[in-house]
Amino acid sequence: MSDLTVAVPEEKVASTKAVVMNQVAGPEVRAESPLYHADLDSLAKQGPRKGGVRLRENKLLGHLTLRCNPNNADQLAAVERVLGMALPLQPLTSVEKGDVSIRWMSPDEWLIIVPGLKAFDVETRFRDEMDGHYSLVNGSGGSTVLELSGDNVVDMLKKSTPIDLHPSEFPVGKVVSTVFAKSTAVIRRTGEKQFELVIRRSFSDYLWLWIQDASREFGLVVDA
């Protein structure tokens, strides 16, 4: 095995950079969100305006999964330089600044959500700033964000997930990845009666049907 190893010159190792592809070339390129077929924009215009649960798809955002060493001060400083805020190191916490948000996913993994057209720029800056062993993956196409709010939003979520949603257990800013219906979701509380769900693209239609059914008794309002 050892005689097959190709010696790589030192300087080449240092200059090796991951190739970053711009997945969204620009605003003029047509893109379909995972719930495109549900035509939420028309429902927002024609559907009921009163109800206990409100739903909005925050579509076509940039979803970046960062894995790095939480004990490496250089990497933490680099993240702060790129995103303008420190990684949340406490379990189940999140931070948000302007249109960028970071969710704790596991002790060495974070989900960063940025505006779709900013993803390439953020990714490129990470490649320049970060040092050492880390991984940054753009999974934007694989998931979407649902914003759920309203007076009955907690009642609707209680039907779908075993997580304790009482404000004393689930304060604003807390984030959990858990089972949701028969799928999974990353649930974050963004307000007293407002939650954000990051869901898989392949489950988005199922969850859209599920949420409609679970919200039926309270009334579902779709926002554009």
Partner 1 sequence: MFHIYCPHCAEYREEEEFHASGQAHIARPLDPEACSDKEWGEYLYFRKNPRGIHHELWVHAAGCRKFFNITRDTQTYEIKEVYKIGEQPSVVAQSGNSK
**99 and 105 Cβ atoms separated by less than 8 Å:** no
Q: Supply the minimum distance, in Å, between the C-beta of residue 44 and partner 1.
A: 31
Query: Which residue type sits at 83?
Result: L
CA distances from residue 187 to 18, 46, 131, 179, 210 in whole angstroms, order as listed: 31, 28, 30, 10, 16
Among the listed residues 187, 199, 212, 208, the one whose alpha carbon sits nearest the alpha carbon of residue 38: 208
84 or 142: whose CB is closer to partner 1? 142
Encoded tokens for 120:
């390439």
- Options 52-60, 104-112, 137-145, 152-160: segment touching partner 1 (CB under 8 A): 104-112
| Integer Cα distance of 128 and 96 in angstroms | 23
106, 127, 142, 224: which one contacts partner 1 (CB under 8 A)? 106
Q: Does 9 bind partner 1 (CB under 8 A)?
A: no
> Nearest-CA neighbor of 201 among 5, 89, 35?
35
Question: Near partner 1 by CB under 8 A, which window of 55-63, 117-125, 176-184, 189-197?
Answer: 176-184
- The answer to whether 111 contacts partner 1 (rule: CB under 8 A) is no
Q: CB 107 → partner 1: shortest distance, Å?
A: 5
Beta bridge partners of 220: 53
Choose between 91 and 98: whose C-beta lies nearer to partner 1.
91
Question: 1, 21, 71, 162: which one contacts partner 1 (CB under 8 A)?
Answer: 162
End-to-end CA distance of the chain: 59
CB 170 within 8 A of CB 164: yes
Pick the closer one to partner 1 by CB: 163 or 222.
163
Does 207 engage in binding with partner 1 (CB under 8 A)? no
Binding site for partner 1 (CB under 8 A): 91-92, 105-107, 109, 162-163, 176-179, 184
